Structure 1
Amino acid sequence: MELTITNLSKQFKDKTAVDDVCLSLTPGVWGLLGANGAGKTTLMRMIADILNPTSGKILYDGKDIRTMGEEYRNLFGFLPQDFGFFQDFTVKDYLEYIAALKDVPARETRKKIDSLLHTLTLDDVRNKKIIKLSGGMKRRVGIAQAMLNDPKILIMDEPTAGLDPGERVRFRNLVSEFSHGRIVLISTHIVSDIEYIATKNAIMKAGKIVNVGTTDELVNQVKGKVWTCVVPAEKITMYEMQLRIINQRSEGNNQVSIRYLSDEGKTSNSVLAPPRLEDLYLWLFPQEEIIERGI
């Protein structure tokens, strides 16, 4: 099974959101990383066949998805950043409605919904209206609807937004298990949510895919550029102005441990640290803030 993206572009008036992207997605979890405005959401919407490309093709096992129609929709699951629902829908009613739209056999619908509600810890709110749920619960309902038809291709845009740390752990475990024999593409700002479960990552910048590889392959790009040191707390403001600090922690005794990015050590007591995927992200996108730093 393979989803092949060939020379895909999308132009909006005078802006090129996706620029000649080529990417071959195979079974496993794929992370899609990039700053705001990189083109990730536009690319996902074209993969979901809800936005037509300006040029290029997306092929599923050699077939153009735009000619597959219902065949493609039946094997596809999609969680957008904002999923729509009627305000009067309860969680159960909404999932039954989505199951019908996705042609999930009626005899399987209840079993599938019960399983997802249990896995996503939504059992207690199955009869509550979605509009009255917390942001994290709404996001979990969105994840459930995307997985209802056991899709062969699952695309999720910022799936962990609003989830607490425990929910994010359960989400990672669920996706890791679900991905066997399936293509799962996840776009997220929370780099730690895909760092340890992604088979491969694609990095997107200014509408282009600039790098593809495993986490280990990609973080090698910042090997020798991640440093740690301990500095006096009263000088931390000065160091923040001089260094690209990506983390700091109070060590007591008026000392602060800092982790920073640089081609060379900037203090006499700096030592190299093993790089992580978040380090690469901040190296490539120095102006982009990480919304959360994981757990």
Structure 2
Amino acid sequence: MELYVNNVSKQFKDKRAVDHVTLNITPGVWGLLGANGAGKTTLMRMIAGIMKPTSGRIEYDGIPIDRLKDEYRDIFGYLPQEFGFYPEFTVKNYLEYVSALKGLTAKESRRRISDLLEQLTLTNVCNKKIAKLSGGMKRRVGIAQALLNDPEVLILDEPTSGLDPAERVRFRNLLSEFARDHIVLISTHIVPDVEYIATRNAVMKDGRLISTGTTEELVKLVDGKVWSAMIPTKYLPEYEQKLRIVNLRNEGDDQVSIRYLSERPRTEDSVPAVPRLEDLYLWLFPQDTLEREG
């Protein structure tokens, strides 16, 4: 089982959204990281077969996906940033409708819908109209439809948008187990969603793939660039102007603990901090605002 993105580019008039990306995706959870506008969604739409590359090709087990056609769609699951539904659909009606589109038998459909409603804690709202659900519940319905056909390849674009921290934890655990013998590609700028479950990560910037590797391999790129220090609370505005502070915590006694990014220590009592994937993200995308858990 292998999904091969072979030197793929996508040109829109005067903008190249994806620029010669090559990526060999094997079973497990893959995180696709990048700021808004990095080209993640365009790449995923091409992997989904919704959009054709300007150049290059995408292959599944050595065969171009445009040649596989229905065979590829049968083993594929996709959650876009926004998924459409008829306003009158209940959760169950919608999942039954998608099951029919995906060619599931009535027996398979009942079993899969029942399992997914339970796994995604949607059983109690299965007869409610999707239009009346909260944003987080709508997102869970979208996740359920992507998983209905037990896809070999699952592509999720910003899947946890709108989910609360507890829902995100449950979702990560579900994906981690599902990915044992499936390919799962998650596009996100919410770094904690992939930091602990991703087998490998791919980082995009300005349409290009700039780095790939495990979380442990990637955080080495900011080794020696992450620092922690204690500063007087009254000087915090001054330090916020001159340092790239990624976290701060009020310690009482008019002291603040800060975590910041820099090529060298910028205060006398600064000590090296163990880098995290979020630190790498902020190092590469300093202008992007991250969502954080808790």
What band does the TM-score fall into relative to the shorter chain?
over 0.9
Equivalent residues in 2 for 1:84-233 (5 A)?
84-233=84-233
Cα drift, residue 190 of structure 1: 1.0
Q: What residue in structure 2 maps to residue 293 of structure 1?
A: 292
Cα drift, residue 7 of structure 1: 1.1
Unpaired segments of 5 or more residues in structure 1?
none
Question: In structure 1, what residue type is equivalent to 2:183?
Answer: I
Question: In structure 1, what residue type is equivalent to 2:191?
Answer: V
Contact 1:104 1:149 in 2 (8 A): yes
Q: What residue in structure 2 maps to residue 39 of structure 1?
A: 39
Question: In structure 2, what residue type is equivalent to 1:132?
Answer: K
For 1:39 and 1:242, how far apart are their aligned partners in 2?
31
Provide TM-score, normalisation by structure 2.
0.99
For 2:193 and 2:4, how far apart are their aligned partners in 1?
25
SS in 1 for 2:181: coil
Mapped pair 1:80 → 2:80: yes
Identity, % of aligned pairs? 66
For 2:245 and 2:39, how far apart are their aligned partners in 1?
27
Cα drift, residue 188 of structure 1: 1.0
SS in 2 for 1:150: coil
For 1:194 and 1:7, how far apart are their aligned partners in 2?
25
For 1:222 and 1:62, how far apart are their aligned partners in 2?
36
Q: What residue in structure 2 maps to residue 66 of structure 1?
A: 66
Flag as ranges the 4+ runs of structure 1 deviating above 6 A: none
For 1:41 and 1:285, how far apart are their aligned partners in 2?
17
SS in 1 for 2:180: coil
For 2:110 and 2:202, how far apart are their aligned partners in 1?
36
Contact 1:4 1:24 in 2 (8 A): yes
Q: What residue in structure 2 maps to residue 275 of structure 1?
A: 275
Q: What residue in structure 2 maps to residue 29 of structure 1?
A: 29
Question: In structure 2, what residue type is equivalent to 1:29?
Answer: V
For 2:180 and 2:151, how far apart are their aligned partners in 1?
11
SS in 2 for 1:216: helix
Q: How many residues align structurally?
A: 294
For 2:137 and 2:209, how far apart are their aligned partners in 1?
32
SS in 1 for 2:159: coil
For 2:282 and 2:122, how far apart are their aligned partners in 1?
35
Cα drift, residue 294 of structure 1: 2.4
CA offset digits 1:188-209 (Å, max 9, x no partner):
1110010000000000011011
Cα drift, residue 214 of structure 1: 0.3
Question: In structure 1, what residue type is equivalent to 2:100?
Answer: A
For 1:152 and 1:294, how far apart are their aligned partners in 2?
29
CA offset digits 1:250-269 (Å, max 9, x no partner):
11111111000001111111
CA offset digits 1:106-132 (Å, max 9, x no partner):
111111101101111111100000000
SS in 2 for 1:83: coil
SS in 1 for 2:97: helix
Question: In structure 2, what residue type is equivalent to 1:162?
Answer: G
For 2:289 and 2:205, how far apart are their aligned partners in 1?
15
Contact 1:193 1:294 in 2 (8 A): no
Q: What residue in structure 2 maps to residue 235 of structure 1?
A: 235
Q: What residue in structure 2 maps to residue 13 of structure 1?
A: 13
Q: What residue in structure 2 maps to residue 254 of structure 1?
A: 254
Contact 1:230 1:256 in 2 (8 A): yes
Unpaired segments of 5 or more residues in structure 2?
none
For 1:59 and 1:250, how far apart are their aligned partners in 2?
51
Question: In structure 1, what residue type is equivalent to 2:278?
Answer: E
Contact 1:5 1:23 in 2 (8 A): yes
